[in-house]
Amino acid sequence: MKIELRHIHKRFGPVHANNDINVTFNEGRIVGILGENGAGKSTLMKILSGFQPADEGDILINNQVVDYTGPTAAIDNGIGMLQQDPLDVGAFTVLENFIYGSTSGVTLPRRSAQKALSELTKRFGFELDPHQPIDNLLIAQRQQLEIIRLLALGVRTLILDEPTTGISAEQKIILFDALRKLARDEGMIVLLVSHKLEDVIDLCDEVMVLRGGELVGETDMPETDENLTSAVIAETKKQLVTMMFGEELGAQDRETVALGEPILVVDKLVVNDLRLDMQPISMTAHAGEVIGLAGLDGSGQELFMRACARLQRIDSGNLSLMGDTINNYHYRELFHRGLIFGAAGRIEEGLIAGLTLTEHTALVADDGLRIDWKSVQKRTVAQIDRYRVKGRASDNIEQLSGGNQQRVLIGLLPDNPHLLILEQPTRGLDVDSARWIWSQLLERRKDGTAIIFNSAELDELVAYSDRIFVFYSGRVYEVPDVSQTSIDELGHLIGGEF
């Protein structure tokens, strides 16, 4: 199978998201799609997979122009896309989702469907219980199911959008082994949209780089073997960063801040769900302190953070904010007391699809019952400029890239909260955008804000945390001096080697 994109253009108002893109993808190859947030990567892949139409240009499959509208038609032509958040039905089981995704719809016999599901999971080393509800699965397992569904539909080109966000190192190994098998053993085309340069170097045969909506470069990746030294990896990263941003990024300084009074005191807190029994946790977050939470997905750090924000039921223990016990508070009350929670799901929990940037500003404006729309509009434009958002005040929030949505979220935060509790604040962001987000957070830290955050990126945890708490199967281990801990040591702790 060979795919060609010829003179692809896509505009969103004044933004030229894809500007005359010409590229060829050949079978048996894994291609990385790189670029800063808002460079046009996801837009181009959504055009190829039928989720968006191009304004101009052609898609050719095996030298024949194809004209399809919608992802189902793209799948019929052998092209399927795994979204960053898999498209499944939470109320259905694994098997029911597999059946629902088939061309036969709900009429596919359950016995033959379960057999097909079992054969595909064994083929790629996946572990999926056909009777398990989707809501009980980890994100990596939902990705595995989505891949299997697409393969069962006959897909020969598989597009993955940030697939390693929120999955563990072990889960990534399983995923990458499956993708290598698809490309090198079965001759499929695999397209990987990612901001993680290590993943691209590890997995991909070649990369294409977009910047400002234009294709600015293509290059082969060094062969992954025992001769791939750290020096080669570092030089390859430097090359890719320069292609993505037009220049090499220097080291980011992190100032030392004197810690102030206790902001949040956690005393023998116990919070559980159906899958996890947590041991009591005690922790004090001081003004100006950054505390990182590490652990594999589902190890308890998310439960803990939401319990501290009073978004999760507490079984026992005590929480106090600025000296006041808050066990019986609701999050809305805590928000007004300076405790701000930022969810990992930008559109799902942090922002509201269908509302414009101006309307989001109005939601957090403390202007009483009446909205002065001229004032809100002016404030929104100022925030767009201050936070370097690529978008307009009149744009719906879902029109923006993930990185620009994150910038909007940061712009909506109060300037001087007492405590920020942030789930994966740089999830899905390129290196420059992630640095910028942290520059804004550290400015608040200098003003006395305490920050508690979690991340799947070990280098982010080591770079920005004063202390790290590692969660593993309900147990918690404190790393009191991050400066004396390496990324490798942190990885072993995450694996339970306390």
Q: What is the pLDDT of residues 350-395, one digit of tens each?
A: 899 899 999 999 988 766 678 889 999 999 999 998 888 888 999 9
Residue 91 reports pLDDT greater than 70: yes
Q: What is the mean pLDDT of residues 462-489?
A: 87
Distance CA 438, CA 5 (A): 36
Domain with CATH 3.40.50.300 in the chain: 2-245, 262-338+414-494
CA dihedral 281, 282, 288, 290 (to 10 degrees): -30
The pTM (predicted TM-score) of the whole model is 0.72
| Whole-number pLDDT of residue 344 | 82
| Whole-number pLDDT of residue 104 | 55
Distance CA 328, CA 312 (A): 11
Give residue 200's identity as a one-letter amino acid code: V
Give the model's confidence band at 60: pLDDT under 50 very low, under 70 low, under 90 confident, else very high: very high
Give the model's confidence band at 437: pLDDT under 50 very low, under 70 low, under 90 confident, else very high: confident
Residue 496 reports pLDDT greater than 80: no
* CATH of region 2-245, choose from 3.30.70.270, 2.40.33.10, 3.40.50.1820, 3.40.50.300: 3.40.50.300
Question: Nearest 5°: CA angle at 360, between 14 and 289?
Answer: 110
- Give, as one character, the DSSP assignment of residue 248: P
Asked whether 28 and 181 are in contact (CB, 8 A), the reply is: no
CA dihedral 251, 256, 261, 266 (to 10 degrees): 50
Distance CA 191, CA 24 (A): 12
Residue 462, classed as helix, strand or coil, is helix
The alpha helices in 153-251, defined as continuous H runs, are 169-180, 197-203, 230-245
The upper half-sphere exposure of residue 484, i.e. CA atoms within 13 Å in the direction of its Cβ, equals 4
Give the model's confidence band at 249: pLDDT under 50 very low, under 70 low, under 90 confident, else very high: low
Residue 106 reports pLDDT greater than 60: no
Q: Which CATH architecture is the domain 262-338+414-494 placed in?
A: 3-Layer(aba) Sandwich (3.40)
Mean model confidence pLDDT for the chain? 87
Residue 290 reports pLDDT greater than 90: yes
Asked whether 347 and 354 are in contact (CB, 8 A), the reply is: no
| Whole-number pLDDT of residue 469 | 95
Asked whether 199 and 175 are in contact (CB, 8 A), the reply is: no
Q: What is the mean pLDDT of residues 336-353?
A: 87
| Whole-number pLDDT of residue 12 | 85
In 3D, which of 55, 51, 50, 49 has the Cα closest to residue 18?
A: 55
Sequence-distant contacts of 234-242: CB under 8 A, at least 24 apart: 236/197, 236/201, 237/197, 237/198, 237/201, 240/34, 240/197, 240/200, 240/207, 240/209, 241/197, 241/431
Give the model's confidence band at 251: pLDDT under 50 very low, under 70 low, under 90 confident, else very high: low
Distance CA 5, CA 215 (A): 12
* Three-class secondary structure assignment of 330-396: CHHHHHHCCEEEECCCHHHHHCCCCCEHHHHHHHHCCCCCCCCHHHHHHHHHHHHHHCCCCCCCCCE
